[in-house]
Structure 1
Amino acid sequence: MRLLIFLIIVVPAAEISVLLLSGKTIGFIPTISFIILTGVIGAWLAKRQGLQAIKRVQEQISYGEPPGDALLDGLCVLAGGIFLLAPGFITDFTGFFLLIPAGRNIVKPLLLKIIRKMIDRNQITIYR
């Protein structure tokens, strides 16, 4: 619940502050242009990385391996694409961070730890 309140209130307020500061610093047109440019580049990168993640999942399944790492990559790419949909520099940075492989390698162990805690608390059930 606290995370939801954070996402709904704090993140948009911070985004508006950064956008206003950027508009004052570099101007209105460059700010809007930069937001559009990051959106276009982000959409292209999300599509590319998402297709690669799907391909890795399919390959691992076809070899009889569990696609755990590839699924976490796909989850990060999905979250990165969603962050890039929101206009603003903070969410764009977060989205790009989740789309590049080096950023995902930092986030995936944290996600795995969260998922394991949820499994231990019986919040997630895994059927085999």
Structure 2
Amino acid sequence: MFRILLLFIILVPALEIGLLLLSGRTLGLIPTILLIIGTGVLGAWLAKKEGSDAIQKVNRQMQTGQMPGDAILDGLCILVGGVVLLTPGFITDAIGFCLLIPATRRPFKRWLRKFLEKRMNNGQFVFIKR
């Protein structure tokens, strides 16, 4: 797992720099900068909207006595998507928007649920009741 993470940490920034240079050469400096700022502003607005919706969903489920598991996974995806959108670059922006848009967030939530369930079943996550 650590090797994959290390590869990701090295590979993604290198690809981002290459795409930003290509964009600057193709579109020009000002359009590239405006595109980066525009995706940041749009991403911040979308993260705020989706995050607010997720919080309301958690509150509704808790008021009815339900465990808000799906809403918490939504919130986690939205948080990661918002953070990733703060990083300038086209690859990270695409990943961030995929995590923020409900339709494209579903596969990530399925993977996250399976990942967490596997860890819990293997005893790698332990919940302590107080």
TM-score range, shorter chain: over 0.9
RMSD: 1.1
Aligned counterparts of 2:11 and 2:124: Cα–Cα separation in 1: 27
Letter in 2 for 1:105: R
**Number of paired residues?**
128
Aligned to 1:18: 19
Structure 2 SS opposite 1:39: helix
Aligned to 1:115: 116
Aligned to 1:90: 91
Structure 1 SS opposite 2:88: coil
Runs of 4+ in 1 over 3 A off after TM superposition: none
- 1:17-41 alpha-carbon deviations (Å, 9 max, x no partner): 1101111111111001000000001
Mark the runs of 5 or more structure 1 residues left unpaired by the alignment: none
Mark the runs of 5 or more structure 2 residues left unpaired by the alignment: none
Aligned counterparts of 1:86 and 1:22: Cα–Cα separation in 2: 16
TM-score normalised by structure 1 residue count: 0.95
Aligned to 2:54: 53
> How far is 1:127 from its partner?
4.0
TM-score normalised by structure 2 residue count: 0.94
Identity %: 55
